[in-house]
Structure 1
């Protein structure tokens, strides 16, 4: 008889089973909801992470001036920063490409080449100098002005001399119109340590300027002749670029350098002002568009690796150092 009537839930095994089952179901559902929420957050953060990576990748691999948006009348800006060399941002390829893009743009009212450089390769500097001259002849209505930042010395000034005008800060360093070739000699140290240099060459002068061999009068004379030739090329470029603005000073081409204030007095520069001033007051177009080309990290690694190998080979087989307008 007792089996026909339900027992008290607390004392009924079937009631206890239902209560436990419901509790377990609620716990399981809560766990599933938490897992779904956690999964959604994980997906969300993954998308955010991928978006950040995509932005970084775009900034790394797309930092060139080739994609500058065309605009109405504006001032074009190109930065020449650091050592002028074939394997850096201030290479003739990068600067020349940026200059070409700036001059070709119909909206360009004038070009500013902002220089902050101690110099570097006379070859690269000469190529940039000639490219400026070519573009100025091709686009005679588009002026190019150089604005000097902290320094415009040696090869940097070689490039600047091609500009219509040069603007400096009073504290800028300007000049150093000279050429050098540096290196080391280890013969004295080798003698003290009892080390012998063993080098075999084909060609009487192939081992010239080897840092582990003694220097000869013939080597010194040959090096000086090369430096004098490059110095003369440098002087000629400056005279062609600056013309009668240069003052008659015996130290002008001695490799000496001066403040921006003194450089104006010597005719090496034309006035004072930064990029904003030149755009606003000289070109009369305050809107500035940056055309500077910069290599990506991947391009820099590949190029510098190849250049380092080549430079090491040249140093080992020919000269003890490299010629620089610095």
Structure 2
């Protein structure tokens, strides 16, 4: 009897182990399949598998983002996308970043109806992106405008004199590597920069002229670098209507025949999953977070760091101290 009881107990114990490992194997296989779908499909999203309106968030500083441009191309090829809302909350960014995004969205508009919604702020390159839509809506108190281009640079010449540091250089030509941070710019340097800014500004104004159906004179009158509310922007013909996402959806339904009551699904570039080991990704995240906290902390406390200083090349950006819209206007359209 004792041996039979022990045998039964052993069999039960073995059965429990087998059940555990079968369940574990099933869960591992399921996780692998989901990971494969994410890797192959650019992110699994069941909501995208039926007809919907795609919402494309354009937020923060605008830079050239190849993953975002790829996502926009995928929107154009997806038969389930009935229309697109460009949801903008951005003070602007690099001129080339805005240009690349604008061109990609104009190509998308040849395949899908596209409407722009300016939320809290859509200024400078943010407004440039809004121009890609065939209809623009903004809240009454949205911040928009700031049509213009900026090239800014620092000069530490006096500081270096105070600490007794002198910089020198041998150049292949006088205009090479101008302007620098250790000497005052020459008139020739200023003329070069003025030409650079002027070319980009003319291009921006031409977009406004064409997309908003203004005369060149009307476009230049509103392209003075100033920011305005959505209400004033409508008066200046920079936006078409006052409202939020509901107004954008209503336009898609009325003017483009998009089916009523379709869900709005956010299309967003998945956060990058690098091939680094888990511990290395944690270290990377901590480092990025610490750097961001340091920059934001200094900016909030002393107003020493401008977000536009982290941008290379020509900048089309409106920003307030600490990056909070509605503060004192700085560095736009000059």
| TM class by smaller structure | 0.5 to 0.7
**For each residue in 1:278-317, what CA deviation from the matched residue of structure 2 results, as whole angstroms up to 9, or x when unmatched?**
324542423146583625625799xxxxxxxxxxxxxxxx
When residues 235 and 244 of structure 1 are mapped into structure 2, their CA distance, relative to the original with a 3 A threshold, is closer
* Structure 2 equivalent of residue 322 of structure 1: 313
Q: Where in structure 1 are there 5+ consecutive unaligned residues?
A: 1-21, 302-319
| Residue aligning to 1:309 | none
In the TM superposition, 1:153-232 aligns within 5 A as 153-232=123-202
Q: Which residue of 2 aligns with 1:81?
A: 59
Give CA-to-partner distance per residue, 1:108-159, whole Å, 9 cap, x none.
65443222222222223234434555565x56xx643212222211112112
Query: Residue by residue, what CA displacement relative to the aligned partner does 1:225-256 show, whole Å, maximum 9, x if unpaired?
Result: 21122112111211211124999698722222
What CA deviation, in whole Å up to 9, does each residue of 1:60-94 have, x standing for no partner? 6633699996766x64543333332223655xx33
Distance in 2 of aligned mates of 1:57 and 1:213: 56
> How many Å separate the matches in 1 of 2:55 and 2:201?
30
Aligned to 1:117: 90
- Look up the match of 2:102: 129
Give SS of 2:238's match: coil
Q: Specify which of 54, 76, 84 is matched with residue 100 of structure 1.
A: 76
Q: CA–CA distance in 1 between the matches of 2:239 and 2:44?
A: 28
Question: Structure 2 CA distance, aligned partners of 1:111 and 1:214?
Answer: 48
Change (3 A) 1:278 1:26: same
Partners of 2:55 and 2:267 within 8 A in 1: yes
TM-score, structure 1 as length reference: 0.68
Q: Hey, what's the Cα distance between the residues in 2 that align with 1:274 and 1:292?
A: 18
* Residue 5 (structure 2) aligns with: 26
Name the Cα RMSD after superposition. Answer: 3.9
The reply to whether residue 264 of structure 1 matches residue 240 of structure 2 is no
Alpha-carbon separation, structure 2, partners of 1:37 and 1:135: 56
Higher Cα Rg, which structure: 1
Separation (CA, whole Å) in 2 of partners of 1:57 and 1:261: 48
CA spacing shift, 1:68–1:193, aligned 2, 3 Å: same
Contact 2:87 2:118 in 1 (8 A): yes
Q: Which has the higher contact order (CA 8 A, sep 6+)?
A: 1
Is residue 24 of structure 2 the alignment partner of residue 45 of structure 1? yes
Instruction: Report if aligned partners of 1:246, 1:266 keep a CA contact under 8 Å in 2.
Output: no
Q: Distance in 2 between matches of 1:41 and 1:210?
A: 67
Q: 1:211–1:27: structure 2 CA closer, same or farther, 3 Å change rule?
A: farther
Instruction: Determine helix, strand or coil for the equivalent of 1:146.
Output: strand
- 2-side partners of 1:188 and 1:206: how far apart? 22
Q: For this pair of structures, how many residues does the alignment match?
A: 278
2:248 counterpart residue number: 278
Q: How does 1:288-299 map to 2 (within 5 A)?
A: 288=263, 290=265, 292=267, 294=269, 297-298=272-273
After superposition, give the CA deviation of every residue in 1:168-226 in whole Å (9 maximum; x if it has no partner): 12232211112122333333333333333354432322221232444333322321221
| Counterpart contact for 1:145–1:165, Cα < 8 Å | yes
TM-superposition CA deviations, 1:254-280 (whole Å, max 9, x none) = 222122233222221111233344324
- Unaligned 5+ runs, structure 2: 277-310, 318-334
SS in 2 for 1:180: coil
Distance of 1:199 and 1:25 partners within structure 2:
94
- 3-state SS of paired residue (1:114): strand
